[in-house]
Amino acid sequence: MGGRDTTLVLLDENGIRCDGRKVDEPRRIMIKAGGLKNADGSAYIEFGDNKILVGVFGPRDVHPKHMSNTDTGILRVRYHMEPFSVTERKNPAPSRREIEISKVIKEALEPAVMLDKFPRTAVDVFIEVLQADGGTRCAALSAASVALADAGIPMRDMVAACAAGKAADTIILDVNNEEDQAGQADMPIGYMPSLEKITLLQLDGVLTPAEYKKCVETGIHGCKIVYELQKKALTEKYFGNGEK
Amino acid sequence: MENKRKYVIPGDVITTGPYRPEQNVILDGNKIISTAIGISEIYDDSIKVIPLTGKYIPKIDDLVIGKVVSHTSLSWELDINSCYVGFLPAQDVFGRDFSAHADELSSKLKSGDLVAARIANFDRTRDPLVTIADRDLGKIDSGHLVKISPSKVPRLIGKRGTMIQTIEMATGAAITIGQNGWVVVSCETPEGLLKAKKAIQMVDEKAHVANLTDQVKEMLESKSES
């Protein structure tokens, strides 16, 4: 938020971005599975300066009852930003943007989870953004998928997410807050790495067909990096230090 | 048993080829993909994944420990640590000549009582029907309830019951394991009770470790010396 910094150089002549990264370099990512005792599954992710905590409950009874589906379980997602997650206090009531992100994350997870085994139940995913710095929906989606796996919800594949975009006429991987505000395009991508399928694709900005293609490829490359870290987080929790 | 065991997470391709997918795996083309975190086991013609996490899903003929949550005039509702409530009809307890007017359900089972029950019927269209009309089933009067993750119940029982026998022998406790992850321990001596509870919790925490039976044995013996 706030006014634009007109002196900000998004990409210098050496191909270094405003936060010191190369064009195809993601931010520092740390994922931890588990951590919350009362939730059935949980995960914590640090994605650059984003800090997000996810708790998963279920499968469990659906309340209100009329929402339940006799054919399949339902997935409910709440994405919420803490009032202190951004520089200026955010009203804790769900905003238009949070409702949208809850919906897109839910739809990005639905192809992966196999809830048809649990008719008349619900799986609830609670996403709390503790600190936001651009690209929270991707980070939240990646963490939600780890938390779902931690809860033991059957899944066809993990969902890894990463954004790609365009700033200073160059396709870049993992758009940060500054690049999102001042850049030309932002494209969050959710991807199932083993099935090689895209579950989320949004685009804010204008790209030529060639740029679009490159952007998707760059984003998928980022998703694969995230996937390796998701795998590592789950392996660490469940199998200790990888003794086979 | 010659099978390749591997740690897998959802989405991992276990192998390709003509295998029959069993528990927690799906077939995608000719790839066999895990749908859970767990240990994959490849048999001659089939593949399954033993999950390490997840809720209890009722299966017909499972022995479960349930807690009475409420009753109507015709049946009790049991919390069986699952996403569905167990349904215990009154005829099961009072016999065929049960009458909703004459018999008062709370005289036999009250809210909060623990019951050892068997899943009599369950399919995806309705809640699991449980029964206590069998030997060793019915109200549990004494003992301590220990809750473990349902996915670790097979580990607590061990191969042909070795793990549970080890614990029972070393502590002198009587242990009833519900497939839903609820375990009732009763023991004459408080030391035995505490030790048995500790051993059960140890299995819950270290379920993925190999040679766990030996470790549990070691723990039980080391404590008895001190």
For the cut 50, the answer to whether the pLDDT of residue B1 exceeds it is no
Within a domain: A168:
yes
Within a domain: A15:
no
Phi and psi torsions of B175, nearest 5°:
-120, 125
Summarize the confidence of residues B11-39 as an average pLDDT: 90
Residues of A in Cβ contact (< 8 Å) with B83: 58-61, 118, 121
Distance to chain B for A157, nearest Cα, Å:
4
* Three-point CA angle A165, A14, A204, nearest 5°: 10
Contacts of A244 (CB under 8 A, 6+ apart): B5, B6, B7
Q: Name the pLDDT band for B4 (thresholds 50, 70, 90).
A: confident
Asked if B12 and A194 come within 8 Å (Cβ–Cβ), the reply is yes
pLDDT of residue A3: 53
Residues of A in Cβ contact (< 8 Å) with B84: 120-121
Print the domain residue range for A167. 29-238
Q: Check CB contact of B130 with chain A, cutoff 8 Å.
A: no
Which is the CATH superfamily of the domain at B63-140?
A: Nucleic acid-binding proteins (2.40.50.140)
Question: What is the overall mean pLDDT for chain B?
Answer: 87
Q: Check CB contact of B208 with chain A, cutoff 8 Å.
A: yes
Within a domain: A19:
no
Q: Name the pLDDT band for B108 (thresholds 50, 70, 90).
A: confident
pLDDT of residue A244: 46
pLDDT of residue A5: 57
Within a domain: A179:
yes
- Topology, domain B5-51: OB fold (Dihydrolipoamide Acetyltransferase, E2P) (2.40.50)
Within a domain: A44:
yes
Distance to chain A for B220, nearest Cα, Å:
23
Give the nearest partner residue to A119 out of B12, B35, B124, using CB atoms: B124
Dihedral (CA of A4, A6, A7, A13) sign: positive
The 10 Å Cβ neighbour count of residue A81 is 24
Distance to chain B for A192, nearest Cα, Å:
8
- Of A45, A11, A218, the C-alpha closest to A143 is A45
A69: nearest CA partner in chain B:
B125
pLDDT of residue B5: 81
Q: Name the pLDDT band for B93 (thresholds 50, 70, 90).
A: confident
Q: Check CB contact of B94 with chain A, cutoff 8 Å.
A: no
A195: nearest CA partner in chain B:
B11
Asked if A235 and B10 come within 8 Å (Cβ–Cβ), the reply is no
Summarize the confidence of residues B188-197 as an average pLDDT: 89
Q: Check CB contact of B28 with chain A, cutoff 8 Å.
A: yes
Task: For chain A, 244 residues long, give each residue's pLDDT as a single digit of tens.
Answer: 455 556 778 888 888 999 999 999 999 999 999 999 999 999 999 999 999 999 999 899 899 999 999 999 999 999 999 999 999 999 999 999 999 999 999 999 999 999 998 999 999 999 999 999 999 999 999 999 999 999 999 999 999 999 999 999 999 999 999 999 999 999 999 999 999 999 999 999 999 999 999 999 999 999 999 999 999 999 999 887 654 4
Interface residue ranges in chain A relative to chain B, Cβ cutoff 8 Å: 40-41, 58-61, 70, 112, 114, 117-121, 149-158, 192-195, 231, 234-235, 238-240, 242-244
Q: What's the structural domain count of chain A?
A: 1
pLDDT of residue A100: 96
Spelled out in words, what is the top-level CATH class assigned to the domain B144-225?
alpha beta
Those of residues 172-201 in B touching chain A at CB distance below 8 A are: none
Return the CATH number at A178: 3.30.230.70
pLDDT digits (tens, 9 = 90+) for B45-83: 889 898 888 899 899 999 999 999 998 888 999 999 998
Distance to chain B for A117, nearest Cα, Å:
8
Query: Boundaries of CATH 2.40.50.140 in chain B?
Result: 63-140
As a whole-number percent, the residues of chain B with pLDDT over 70 amount to 97
How far is Cα A148 from Cα B54, in angstroms, rounded to an integer? 10
Give the nearest partner residue to A149 out of B9, B28, B209, using CB atoms: B9
Distance to chain A for B92, nearest Cα, Å:
26
Asked if B6 and A119 come within 8 Å (Cβ–Cβ), the reply is no
> What is the DSSP annotation of chain A?
-----TT--SB-TTSBBTTS-BTT----EEEEE---SSSSEEEEEEETTEEEEEEEEEEEE-SSGGG--SSS-EEEEEEEE-TTSSSSPPPSSPPHHHHHHHHHHHHHHTTTB-GGGSTTEEEEEEEEEEE--S-HHHHHHHHHHHHHHHHT--BSS--EEEEEEEETTEEEES--HHHHHHSSEEEEEEEETTTTEEEEE--EE---HHHHHHHHHHHHHHHHHHHHHHHHHHHHHHHTTT--
Asked if B37 and A70 come within 8 Å (Cβ–Cβ), the reply is no
Distance to chain A for B57, nearest Cα, Å:
9
ipTM: 0.84
pLDDT of residue B45: 87
